[in-house]
Amino acid sequence: MKSFIGTYECKADAKGRLMIPAVLKKQLSSALQDGFVLKRAVFQPCLELYPMAEWNLLMDKVNKLNRFKKKNNDFIRRFTAGVKMVEVDNAGRLLIPKDLINFSGITKNVVLASAVNIIEIWDKDKYETAIDDATSDFADLAEEVMGQDENDNGLS
């Protein structure tokens, strides 16, 4: 699993294309040939950009779900709603499909934020609001998630 680093601002044009900043494009370079999957985030009004290798790892987990359980089928349907395969073109641009622009509320100013092994794509104002809203609770959240004893990885 590759970890991405950084938060980058860029602009989307009227067609929904955004230029990937050079620093981020370099981090994505090993995945450029395979392409990406772009999808709605589960918990936030943003998009998630998965390198194809990361998407395939995630789909390996999803494929293990028992499809004869209704809640699993419902989850798969909702989780994959609006999923698109996308590529970065020769000019270094990523085209965001209209339905995903509508979901995320992306206008002109965009934030690309690393989220470990994926990139979140946000409308800048919504990103700033999400960060500001989380600031007061972040210390408690950090302690709960990361403040476990060394023998307890906190992933339960």
Question: Which pLDDT score is estimated for 135?
Answer: 64
Domain containing 39 equals 7-124
Residue 129 forms part of a structural domain: no
Residue 150 has pLDDT above 70, yes or no: no
Give which of 30, 31, 11 is closest to 21, Cα–Cα.
11
Tokens representing 107?
Answer: 């206008």
Q: Pairing mode, if any, of strands 47-51 and 118-123?
A: antiparallel
Residue 118 forms part of a structural domain: yes
What DSSP assignment string belongs to 76-108?
A: HHHHTTT-EEE-B-TTSEEEPPHHHHHHHT--S
The predicted-structure confidence for 102-141, as pLDDT tens digits, reads as follows: 999 999 999 999 999 999 999 999 999 988 876 667 777 7
Looking at every residue in the chain, the average pLDDT score rounds to 90
Indicate which CATH number applies to the domain containing 52: 3.40.1550.20
- Asked if 38 and 49 touch (Cβ cutoff 8 Å), the reply is yes
The predicted-structure confidence for 25-52, as pLDDT tens digits, reads as follows: 999 988 888 999 999 999 999 999 999 9
Domain count, the chain: 1
Residue 44 forms part of a structural domain: yes
* Mean pLDDT of the region 80-95: 93
